[in-house]
Every structure is written in C-alpha cells, then in structure tokens.
C-alpha cells in the first residue's frame, strides 16, 4: 500500500469523521440533558438535507446559505416536538425508565412520520445534486472541494458548539444539567427551559449537518437510520453526555470506518457500522472519556 493511498484514506476518514462528529453532537445534547435517545435523529438530518436540496435545485440557492435555513427549520421542528410531546411527558412524574421507554416509542413514531412525509413530498427516489465538485490537491491527495468545504464548515460549527458549551453561562448550565440533574435543578437552573433549548439546538445542528451531507452524498427519505446508528456509536465511544468526547469520538469512528471499508469493501459499510453499534451496546464501555451507559 503506497503512501498516497494511506494519506487518502486518512483524509477521507478525517472528513467523514468531522461530519460524524457534528452529526453526533445533537444526539448527545438531548441524551445528556434529558436522558432521551432520539432515534429520529437521522430523520431530522434527512429533513435538513432535503431542504438544502430543494433550495438548490428549485431556486439555485447556495447550499452554504441553505445551511442556515435547514438549521432554522429543523430547530423550529424541534421546538414544536419538544413543547407538545416531550416536555409534558417529562413532567408527568412517571419513573425514569417508563419515560425513557415511552420516549423511544415516540421518537420511533416520529421517525416513521418524517420518513413518510418526505416520501410523500419528494418521492422515494434517491436524489442528489452536484455542487463544488472541482477537485483540489492537498499534497499528493486529490480531494473534492465540496467535501473539503463541508469538512471545514463542520469543523467551524463544532468549534462554535464547543465554545458555547465550555465558555458561556448557558453552556455551563447545560453541562451542570448533564452531570448532575437533580443538583442542577436545586441550584436554580430552569431545567425545562434548558431541555427545550438543548432540544432546539440539537435539532438545528442535525438539520445543518443534513444540509452539509446533501452536498456530498445522495439523499433519500430512508437515509436517516444509518446516521442515527453512527451518531449513537460515536456518543457512546466518546462518553454519553460528554460533548467534547463525542466530537473526538466522531473523528475516531470516521477513521475506523473508512479504514475498515478500505480493507474490506464498500458494500460492507452498513454491516461494519451496525456491527460496531451492536458490539458497543453489548460491551457497554465507559467510553473513551468516561461515563458509560
């Protein structure tokens, strides 16, 4: 295996990883603050992807602009879903396990609804568009410009998210809520408002990642589930609720997956992905940065 090929794998892995890191952040926020596993996460990404696709193919809007639009639309979706469905449920005072199981079913239902709405609106065909497909050379490795740009945007958004979480008061409150829910409430943190906020941000970032992904990959109403699975693996690897951890975990998983595919074959990507997912749940590691299942 020559040097160039290895470098290419690493590049591809990093780009994929960067995107995965962003994809995972949303799931981690909702899990960390509310202990809910959003299995509709991939479908929210899908919605973001379709919005960007729509804007580009119908109105010729620059996908980088529709990033914002996707993010806004999905944020709004998150707002509605959280307020109407989940906040009332958390407040019923049922046991944690009941709320978690019920939420899973609710998210499952939402994912089915979103998938079918998308199919109704845009048909089940796989769609895609070409944007920025010029190829540039980074040292000896050819990289498509759209991938590079997507990676850079993902990086920027990840850094912004990281700064938000680490440096702002809001971020501190969210971290407090993640680490110690009861105590956080006792010191006056308005948990309901923060739940809503995390939900909205999580959905927003998911929509944004969807828009980024639409620049590079083909999209379909059924593209969501694999991303949900990936996001889940990443957040377990990085430590549940650990935002920084999942950013790094995303990179690692992206690299591992890319290497795995290059060693075996692209057709096995799903099997590898789900295989890792299953292994991760069965073995339930504490994650690389602590805090396991």
Partner 1 sequence: MISSRKKKYIPAIGIPALLIFLSILPFFVTDYIVSLLLDILTWVALTESWIILSGFTGYISLGHSAFFGIGAYVMAISWMSLPYPLIILISATSSMALAFAIGFPVLRVRGPYFVILTLGLSEFAKYIFINYEVNVKGTVGRILLGVPPIKTLYFSLLVIAFFTILCAYLIQRSRFGYGLFSIREDEDAAESLGIDTGIFKWLAFGISAFFPGAVGSVMALRRTYIDPYSVFDPIVSFQIIVMAFLGGMGKLHGPVLGACILTLISEFLWARYPHYYMIILGVVLVVIVKYLPSGILEIVGKLETAIRFLRTRMGCIF
Instruction: Note whether 104 binds partner 1 by CB under 8 A.
Output: yes
Which residue in 131, 217, 274, 289 binds partner 1 (CB under 8 A)?
274
Shorter beta-carbon distance to partner 1: residue 69 or 77? 77
Residues 6+ apart with CB under 8 A from 171: 163, 164, 165
Q: How far apart are CA 191 and CA 188, in angstroms?
A: 9
Query: How many residues in the shown chain lie near partner 1 by CB under 8 A?
Result: 38
Shorter beta-carbon distance to partner 1: residue 2 or 125? 125
Residues 6+ apart with CB under 8 A from 134: 144, 145
Q: How far apart are CA 53 and CA 56, in angstroms?
A: 5
Place of tokens 């949900």: 228
Which residue in 91, 108, 167, 183 binds partner 1 (CB under 8 A)?
108
CB 233 within 8 A of CB 281: no
Shorter beta-carbon distance to partner 1: residue 112 or 163? 112
Instruction: Note whether 88 binds partner 1 by CB under 8 A.
Output: yes
Q: Which stretch binds partner 1 (CB under 8 A): 2-10, 104-112, 126-134, 179-187?
A: 104-112
CB 151 within 8 A of CB 19: yes
Shorter beta-carbon distance to partner 1: residue 39 or 208? 39
Tokens standing for residue 183: 């105590």
Which residue in 6, 65, 117, 138 binds partner 1 (CB under 8 A)?
117
Q: How far apart are CA 216 and CA 143, in angstroms?
A: 12
Per DSSP (E only), the strands in the chain are 135-138, 141-144
132 sits in the region (left: phi over 0; alpha: psi -120 to 50; else beta) called left
Shorter beta-carbon distance to partner 1: residue 173 or 225? 225
Which residue in 25, 29, 37, 208 binds partner 1 (CB under 8 A)?
37
Positions touching partner 1 (CB under 8 A) are 37, 39, 85, 88-89, 97, 100-106, 108-110, 112-113, 115-117, 119-120, 225, 229, 232, 267-268, 270-271, 274-275, 277-278, 281-282, 284, 293
């Amino acid at each position: 295996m020559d040097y160039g090929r290895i470098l290419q794998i690493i590049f591809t892995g990093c780009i994929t990883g960067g995107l995965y890191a962003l994809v995972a952040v949303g799931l981690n926020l909702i899990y960390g603050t509310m202990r809910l596993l959003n299995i509709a996460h991939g479908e929210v990404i899908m919605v973001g992807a379709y919005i960007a696709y729509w804007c580009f193919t119908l109105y010729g809007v620059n996908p980088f602009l529709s990033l914002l639009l996707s993010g806004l639309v999905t944020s709004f979706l998150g707002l509605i879903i959280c307020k109407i469905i989940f906040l009332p449920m958390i407040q019923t005072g049922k046991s944690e396990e009941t709320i978690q199981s019920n939420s899973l079913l609710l998210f499952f239902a939402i994912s089915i609804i979103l998938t079918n709405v998308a199919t109704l609106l845009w048909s089940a065909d796989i769609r895609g568009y070409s944007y920025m497909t010029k190829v540039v050379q980074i040292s000896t490795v050819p990289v498509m410009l759209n991938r590079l740009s997507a990676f850079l945007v993902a990086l920027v958004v990840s850094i912004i998210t990281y700064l938000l979480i680490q440096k702002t008061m809001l971020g501190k409150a969210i971290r407090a809520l993640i680490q110690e829910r009861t105590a956080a409430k006792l010191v006056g943190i308005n948990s309901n408002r923060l739940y809503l906020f995390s939900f909205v941000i999580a959905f927003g970032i998911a929509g944004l990642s969807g828009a980024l992904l639409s620049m590079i990959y083909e999209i379909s109403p059924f593209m969501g589930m694999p991303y949900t699975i990936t996001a889940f693996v990443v957040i377990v690897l990085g430590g549940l609720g650990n935002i920084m951890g999942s950013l790094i975990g995303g990179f690692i998983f992206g690299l591992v997956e890319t290497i795995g595919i290059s060693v075996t074959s692209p057709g096995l990507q799903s099997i590898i992905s789900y295989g890792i997912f299953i292994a991760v749940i069965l073995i339930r590691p504490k994650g690389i940065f602590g805090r396991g299942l």
